[in-house]
A and B are shown apart, each in its own frame.
Chain A
Amino acid sequence: MTHFAAVVLFALFASTVFGITSRETPMRMLRYGIYCFVLFVGSAIAISWVMYFIAR
């Protein structure tokens, strides 16, 4: 499994639980789940680039 696949899987599972447990209506659950997913994956990519430049 690649690093990125692991990040995407982790983000998908965690965002699903966060979305369902943190909001009350299905539409708000979906929106919050997508928001969490984007934050998880986006922050992982951003931190990876930071580490890439630090290592060079």
Chain B
Amino acid sequence: MATEEKKNAAAQQGFVYAPLIAGWLVPGAGHFLLRKWGRGALLAASILGMFATGLAMQGKLYTSVHDILDILCTAGDLGTGLLYLVSRMLGLGAEQVQTVTADWGARFIVVAGLLNVIAAVDAHNLRTGRKS
């Protein structure tokens, strides 16, 4: 019992949101902060792979907030953190979706963002001791 309380107290020390923020900004970084190298590497490879595949398929990076679907897709894209911002700065991604493949590419990018949010929350749960 006392050991459990000590463990919980140790888990709450420091800035507990660091893995969450790091994981959101850079895929896998939250797990790397917690020295979960294997999990972090697999998460980073999956999320970066999905994002890169989306860009390679001429997927669109959403920027507009004109209708509800655009807002949701922009929110999904923002889940990739710095990847989205850097890609926007470099002018990557298509302006318009003109082919079926490009439409899939846009979905790949949105889902990469959503998966990155899941991974960042997982890092936060590991940090707080909610998950081992």
Check A45 for interface membership: any CB of B closer than 8 A.
no
Closest to A24 in B: B132
Check A39 for interface membership: any CB of B closer than 8 A.
no
Task: Please determine whether A13 and B49 come into contact, CB atoms closer than 8 angstroms.
Answer: yes
Residue in contact with B119 in the complex, picked from A1, A6, A9, A17, CB distance below 8 Å? A17
Closest to B40 in A: A20
Check A10 for interface membership: any CB of B closer than 8 A.
yes
Bound Cα distance from A13 to B53, whole angstroms: 10
Task: Please determine whether A6 and B49 come into contact, CB atoms closer than 8 angstroms.
Answer: no
Q: Which one of A1, A10, A16, A20 has the greatest number of beta carbons of chain B within 10 Å?
A: A20
Bound Cα distance from A49 to B116, whole angstroms: 32
Task: Please determine whether B42 and A20 come into contact, CB atoms closer than 8 angstroms.
Answer: yes
Task: Please determine whether B42 and A6 come into contact, CB atoms closer than 8 angstroms.
Answer: no
Which residues on B sit within 8 Å (CB–CB) of A9?
49-50, 53
Instruction: Tell me the number of A-to-B contacts counted with CB atoms below 8 Å.
Output: 46
Task: Please determine whether A21 and B101 come into contact, CB atoms closer than 8 angstroms.
Answer: no
| Least distance between B59 CB and chain A CB atoms (Å) | 11
Task: Please determine whether A17 and B47 come into contact, CB atoms closer than 8 angstroms.
Answer: yes
Closest to B56 in A: A1
22 CB-based A-B contacts, threshold 8 Å: A1-B57, A1-B101, A6-B57, A6-B104, A9-B49, A9-B50, A9-B53, A10-B111, A13-B47, A13-B112, A14-B111, A14-B115, A16-B42, A16-B45, A16-B46, A17-B46, A20-B122, A21-B43, A21-B118, A21-B119, A21-B121, A24-B131
